[in-house]
Amino acid sequence: MRIISGNLKGKSINFVKNSKTRPLKDSVRENIFNILAHSNSFNISFEEANVIDLYSGVGSFGIECLSRGAQKVTFVEYDSIAVKILKDNLVKLSILEKAYVHNGTVEQILEQSLTERFDIFFFDPPFLDKDFSRNLDFIKKKKIYKKEHIVIVHREKKSDDDLISKIKIIKTKVYGRSKIIFGIFS
- Per-residue pLDDT tens over the stretch 35-56: 988 888 878 888 889 999 999 9
**Residue 3: inside a domain, yes or no?**
no
The CATH number of whichever domain residue 131 belongs to comes to: 3.40.50.150
- Per-residue pLDDT tens over the stretch 114-134: 778 999 999 999 888 888 999
Indicate the residue type of 46.
F
Indicate the residue type of 40.
N
- Per-residue pLDDT tens over the stretch 67-91: 999 999 999 999 999 999 999 999 9
**Residue 12: inside a domain, yes or no?**
no
**Residue 123: inside a domain, yes or no?**
yes
Q: Does residue 111 carry a pLDDT above 90?
A: no
* Structural domain boundaries, residue 180: 26-36+43-184
Tell me the whole-structure pTM to 2 decimals.
0.93
Helix, strand, coil distribution of the chain in percent, nearest 5? 30, 25, 45
**Residue 7: inside a domain, yes or no?**
no
**Residue 5: inside a domain, yes or no?**
no
Residue 180: CA count within 13 A, CB half-sphere: 22
Q: Which residues contact 37 (CB under 8 A, 6 or more apart)?
A: none
The pLDDT of residue 127 is: 81
Q: Average pLDDT, whole number, for the chain?
A: 90
Rounded to an integer, what distance in angstroms lies between the CA atom of residue 147 and that of residue 139? 13
**Residue 11: inside a domain, yes or no?**
no
Rounded to an integer, what distance in angstroms lies between the CA atom of residue 167 and that of residue 182? 9
